[in-house]
Structures are given as structure tokens and as C-alpha cells.
Chain A
């Protein structure tokens, strides 16, 4: 299947700093990428929809100034968690669509804010 590479897989940062997470589609072009957040023992919640060359669309309750999304090319989307706080600690997963129906997910990033 198609490959979506997400980096880093784990990151620990200090409270108040910013962290950037990269999501790359390696063998297909993704005009749209989605960013999800997963709390322990819970399902994935959509945070935002990232469209190449335009501003991301954020879900209700997600702070766009805190979670900055950039989709500069058809193969790369980034999520930057700004001024991170311990409550931002979570598992973040990106996905990209190949064609219209197949969504492929990155490996996920475990963010721990201390």
C-alpha cells in the first residue's frame, strides 16, 4: 500500500516550547491531509484538514493559533504545536488520501510535554 511517513515518532519537549511534526506521502501526491489526535484508550479525533496551498480547516474547539498547519507541497504537511503545555501531550497521527477512497496513516507521533 501507499506509504505515509511521519516524523518524529516520539518527542519530549519542555513546556512553553514549540514542536514540529512532519507528515510526508512517499509514493503518492496528497492534495488533502488530515491531522488527528488520540487520547489514551480513546478514538482518533480529527483536528484539522490540510489542503495543499491553502489554509487549513480546523475542527470546532481546536485552536488554530496553537496548532499551526502548513501544507506547502503535495507530499508534505506539517503540524507545529506552539507554546506546548502538558495537556497537549498526546498521540498525533496524520493521514493522506491516495485517489478518493484510500486513506493511509503515518506511524504517529507521541508528544510528551514536561
Chain B
């Protein structure tokens, strides 16, 4: 079945760049997503990328997609303490007219001052 994997923890210093990596298995995925979850809260959509793109940049966020290796990464430039959260990578699985998202286990980003 479909599987999305990501490392569980990442610790960086404030001002550094953070890179969160994700691998997925479903080669038919057409959209891949990054979500941010702060403690006790729901998920906030950060960005998504269509599978025919290699890169997408949105302010401090850069998403890189290597479709051949099924590898997705999220780079956060100038990481701030407010970026501390759990980041979920997700791929869309088309099981019907609208697909559901398959999530990784999440990467907990800790930003040290």
C-alpha cells in the first residue's frame, strides 16, 4: 500500500535553514503537500506541489520534488522559534472522485534561540 516516511525529529538554531525530508511510494501521486501542526491544533496547509514541478518557492518556504526518487523536501529559510511545530508530508491518493491524503508520521521541528 501507499506509504509516506519522514524523519521524526529535527533541531536547528534560530536563523538557520531547516530541511525536512520525506519519501513516498505511490508513483501515481499527482499532488504532494506539506502541513504544519502546532500543539493541540489542527493542520495548517503550508504549500503543495504538482508532480510535474521540480521546485516551488513561497516566501521562506522552498519545496523540492525528485519524482524519480520519490523524494520531497521542505526548506524553511531563516527559521524562527515560531516555526517550531510538527510538519507532515502528505500525498494525495485518488480512491474516488476526490482523493484522501496519506500522511507521514510527522517531523517535529525544534528551533533553539
- Indicate if the CB atoms of B103 and A32 lie closer than 8 Å: no
Residue A67 at the chain B interface, CB threshold 8 Å:
no
Contact count band on A: 20 to 34
Taking chain B's interface residues, is the majority helix, strand, or loop, or is none over half, making it mixed? strand
Residue B43 at the chain A interface, CB threshold 8 Å:
yes
Closest to A106 in B: B42
Give the one of B35, B95, B103, B104 with max A CB within 10 A.
B103
Hey, which bits of chain B sit against chain A, CB under 8 A? 31, 33, 35, 40-45, 48, 88, 92, 95-98, 100-101, 103-106
Given contacts A4-B42, A6-B42, A105-B45, 16 further A-B contacts (CB under 8 A): A31-B98, A32-B98, A42-B105, A43-B88, A43-B105, A44-B88, A44-B103, A49-B100, A93-B42, A95-B43, A95-B101, A97-B98, A104-B45, A105-B42, A105-B43, A106-B42
